[in-house]
Structure 1
Amino acid sequence: MHLFSYENAKLYKEKTKIWHDKDNQPKVFEEGQRVLLFNLRLKLFLGKLKSRWSGPFLVVNVYPYGAVELHEKGSEREFKVNGQRLKHYWGGEVERNKSSFSLKDP
């Protein structure tokens, strides 16, 4: 009985893995590309319109098994992150200047 349940659990896990992996497309990053980094800390301060992606960063080195080394523009900081937290950046330069407008009574 124990062997039968062990085999069923093994088959279930294999089928679940196949089902989960069929929609996952591995992201391929190359040196010199620009990417956006998912910021996990912003989950603590939820905001409807607040973007959870920061960047763009420059890919310096791609390691095996999904690790990626990034370089932050404007500083000499380089750090490694998991490639699952990255996505390709297709836009132009991001303007970081914030402006505010005061509303006047009519």
Structure 2
Amino acid sequence: MSSLLHKYGVVHRIATTYHPQTNGQVESRLLEDALWAHRTDIELCCGCLPTGLSSAVKHCNLDYDQVGKQRQFQLQELDELRLEAYENSRIYKQKVKKFHDQQILRKEFRVGQKVLLFTSRLKLIAGKLHSRWDGPFVITNVFPYGVVKLKDEHTNNTF
């Protein structure tokens, strides 16, 4: 087989099935499918097709009165479409915010409670076995929005 390929000057390369980087035909076909799906999919945030948000004049009409009325109608439709997209976007953002807020665990701290402090500086220091937590610390004062004043039990330093 290799002598036949060599005779005709064919470079034989093994390609993985449906792997776009090694097979240009697959890339071309999959790219078309992906672009078609993107162009025809309703945008989740605004509830409209991407092509529906753009305005384009399809026919050339030279009757100025009719063209003026038609253009006003198109502008009104475009404004309504834009307002509908803004409203759908606002509703979508509210849903995402509500879901995000449900995932957040609210912590309520009390004076005298012992806590551990997360050490973010350890990301720069190599070492798997280092503890990412310091402490324990005692809460001496609680401020609004989750801000607390801590006291180190061993050194009596507050911060």
Cα displacement string for residues 61-104 of structure 1 (whole angstroms, at most 9, x for unaligned residues): 1111111110112324212xxxxxxxxxxxxxxxxxxxxxxxxx
- Higher relative contact order (CA closer than 8 Å, sequence separation 6+): 1
Against the structure 1 CA distance between its residues 18 and 52, is the aligned structure 2 distance closer, same or farther, given a 3 Å change threshold? Answer: same
Q: Which has the higher helix share?
A: 2
After alignment, is 70-79 or 11-20 more displaced? 70-79
Q: Which amino acid aligns with 2:91?
A: L
Q: Which runs of 4+ in 1 moved over 4 A?
A: none
Question: Alpha carbon RMSD of aligned pairs, Å?
Answer: 1.6
What is the TM-score normalised by the length of structure 1? 0.65
Q: Which has the higher strand share?
A: 1
Match of 1:63 among 143, 147, 155: 143
After alignment, is 40-49 or 52-61 more displaced? 40-49
Q: Which amino acid aligns with 1:5?
A: A
What is the TM-score normalised by the length of structure 2? 0.45
Cα displacement string for residues 24-48 of structure 1 (whole angstroms, at most 9, x for unaligned residues): 2211110001100111111112422
Unaligned runs of 5+ in 1: 80-106
In the alignment, the residues of structure 1 paired with residue 127 and residue 93 of structure 2 have an alpha-carbon distance, to the nearest angstrom, of 37
Q: Which amino acid aligns with 1:37?
A: L
Which of 1 and 2 has greater Rg?
Answer: 2
Unaligned runs of 5+ in 2: 1-80
Query: Residue 9 in 1 paired to residue 119 in 2?
Result: no
Identity %: 49
